[in-house]
């Protein structure tokens, strides 16, 4: 037996002896087995640093709840837009329909998937690319650029015009059956190609498949309205907006936001993505004719700079992060100083990799999108604490919002979306003119919030 390659009885005896020799190990064991790792690693001093009070703050309406769905990117996007409606018409609160973009996103993602299947008919079925495409064809997640594509094509509607359904509140069944259908459709397209069916006939097959996808979505979510009536009353109960609108007309009238002016900035310090350059991700998107995503990679300090500039103009900021890291979820606190997991175990666990290494080794990526709606600044004007609007309902965190420390921002915020007017002239020129480096479909910057 190779004693250096296997776990031997002697190894186990040594580990048992070393663990029992330190009293602190017994204390840690008792604490963790009773309450869990994060509760035992919780630092009250770190928690205390997250006391409320912000120098810049926008005030939203009632907190929204994505319930059992992965629509955080939609909620975050709509929350930046509903703020404009609340502000423009002096409303107490207002909510845009989240079921409406869900319908169109599933439809567009289905078309995107089938187009990619047609584009990879000669790729091996068990190769990495086709396996990747088949893994999660129409998941709930997305990115800002994908939401921008939806809004430009389909507009938005008030929540009352397309309310939630059982399948939008909990998308598990919808995703399961639509994914099964699409994988079956991919099989039929590939088998037809192998049998010699031509391109035009394959495209005709895909058109029929998309009609069936529409049917499935309409059964689960209802049909999106082509037009609807609106009556909004302000805080004084005066009629602020009324009429009949198409979704595109309502977006233009009520939201009045130039979505093309908003750009995605990422912060990925890996060797393959030098700062100051643009990137895109192969085969990532939803609306086929609107292409995919485009990023400018910058250090965290620059993401903070533009986020603060936009908050100063009384506008919230969409951002994407790895929400599960160093997170006290019940308290709504994201702070690297609020937990000390490494002290609990006695050796580096959280501290065993830096940000770039976490990305390279699959330990971290963007998992959730939310909205920055406030920031606390020190005497030099530098950020110390951020206020976050989440989409997990008013009972989460502190009345539905979280805080994140500036150190947490450095480590786990990967993307912000701001008006490009806040970029420097050089940054704006690079974003608009540089040919982006194409990243592999499985690159961590292609993850969906």
pLDDT digits (tens, 9 = 90+) for 293-337: 999 999 999 999 999 999 999 999 999 999 999 999 999 999 999
Portion of the chain with pLDDT greater than 70, in percent:
100
CA distance 230 to 379: 46
Residue 90 catalytic? no
pLDDT exceeds cutoff 90 at 249: yes
Return all residues near 311 (Cβ < 8 A) that are at least 6 apart: 56, 57, 58, 317, 372, 373, 374, 375
Set 72, 167, 220, 321: catalytic member: 72
Question: What does the pLDDT look like over 53-90, one tens digit per residue?
Answer: 999 999 888 999 999 999 999 999 999 999 999 999 99
Per the annotation, the verdict on 167 as an active-site residue is no
Confidence of residue 136 (pLDDT cuts 50, 70, 90): very high
Mean pLDDT calculated for residue range 209-237: 98
Confidence of residue 4 (pLDDT cuts 50, 70, 90): confident
Parallel, antiparallel or unpaired: strands 368-377 and 262-266: unpaired
Active site residue 72: yes
Selected catalytic residue, list 65, 220, 286, 368: 368
Residue bearing tokens 């099989």: 187
Tell me which of 254 and 291 has the higher pLDDT.
Answer: 254
pLDDT tens-digit readout, 376-390: 999 999 999 999 999
* Cα–Cα distance, 272 to 197 (Å, whole number): 41
pLDDT at 47 over 90: yes
Q: Is pLDDT at 402 greater than 80 in this prediction?
A: yes
Q: What is the predicted pLDDT for the residue at 2?
A: 75
Could you report the per-residue pLDDT of 271-293, keeping only the tens digit for each? 999 999 999 999 999 999 998 99
Rounded to the nearest integer, the mean pLDDT of the chain is: 97
- Choosing from 65, 286, 297, 390, which is the catalytic residue? 390
Backbone torsion region of residue 2, taken as left when φ is above 0, otherwise alpha when ψ lies between -120 and 50, otherwise beta: beta
- Predicted pLDDT at 434: 98
Return the pLDDT at 1.
55
CB atoms within 10 A of CB 127: 10
Range 129-145 average pLDDT: 97
Report whether pLDDT(12) > 90: yes
In the chain, % of residues over pLDDT 90: 97
pLDDT bracket for residue 207 (50, 70, 90): very high
């Amino acid at each position: 037996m190779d004693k250096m390659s296997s776990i031997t009885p002697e190894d186990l005896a040594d580990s048992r002896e070393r663990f029992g020799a330190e009293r602190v190990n017994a204390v840690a064991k008792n604490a963790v087995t009773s309450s869990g790792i994060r509760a035992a690693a919780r630092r009250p001093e770190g928690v205390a640093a997250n006391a409320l009070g912000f120098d810049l703050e926008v005030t939203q309406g009632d907190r929204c709840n994505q319930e059992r769905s992965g629509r955080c990117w939609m909620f975050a996007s709509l929350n930046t837009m509903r703020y404009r409606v609340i502000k423009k018409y002096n409303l107490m609160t207002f909510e845009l329909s989240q079921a409406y973009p869900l319908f169109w996103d599933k439809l567009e993602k289905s078309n995107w998937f089938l187009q990619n299947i047609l584009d990879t008919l000669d790729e091996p079925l068990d190769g990495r690319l086709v396996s990747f495409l088949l893994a999660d064809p129409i998941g709930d997640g997305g990115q800002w650029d994908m939401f921008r594509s939806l809004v430009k094509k389909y507009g938005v509607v008030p929540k009352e015009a397309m309310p939630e359904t059982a399948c939008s509140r909990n998308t598990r069944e919808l995703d399961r059956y639509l994914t099964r259908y699409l994988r079956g459709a991919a099989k039929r397209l590939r088998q037809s190609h192998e049998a010699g069916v031509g391109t035009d006939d394959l495209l005709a097959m895909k058109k029929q498949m998309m009609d069936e996808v529409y049917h499935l979505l309409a059964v689960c979510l209802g049909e999106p309205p082509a037009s609807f009536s609106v009556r909004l009353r302000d805080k004084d109960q005066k009629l602020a907006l009324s009429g009949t609108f198409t979704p595109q007309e309502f977006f233009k009238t009520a939201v009045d936001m130039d979505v093309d002016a908003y750009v995605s900035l990422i912060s990925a310090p890996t060797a393959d993505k030098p700062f100051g350059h643009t990137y895109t991700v192969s085969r990532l998107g939803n609306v086929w004719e609107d292409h995919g995503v485009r990023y400018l990679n910058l250090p965290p300090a620059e993401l903070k700079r533009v986020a603060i500039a936009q908050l100063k103009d009384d506008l919230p900021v969409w951002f994407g992060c790895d929400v599960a890291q160093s997170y006290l979820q019940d308290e709504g606190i994201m702070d690297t100083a609020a937990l000390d997991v490494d002290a609990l175990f006695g050796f580096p666990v959280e501290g065993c990799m830096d940000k770039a290494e976490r990305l390279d080794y699959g330990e971290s990526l963007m998992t959730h999108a939310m909205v920055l709606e406030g920031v606390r600044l020190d005497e030099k004007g530098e950020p110390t604490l951020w206020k976050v609007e989440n989409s997990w309902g008013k009972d989460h965190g502190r009345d539905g919002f979280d805080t994140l420390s500036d150190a947490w921002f450095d480590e786990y915020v990967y993307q912000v979306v701001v008006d490009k007017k806040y970029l420097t002239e050089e940054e704006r020129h690079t974003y608009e003119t540089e040919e982006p480096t194409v990243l592999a479909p499985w690159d961590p910057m292609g993850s969906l919030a």
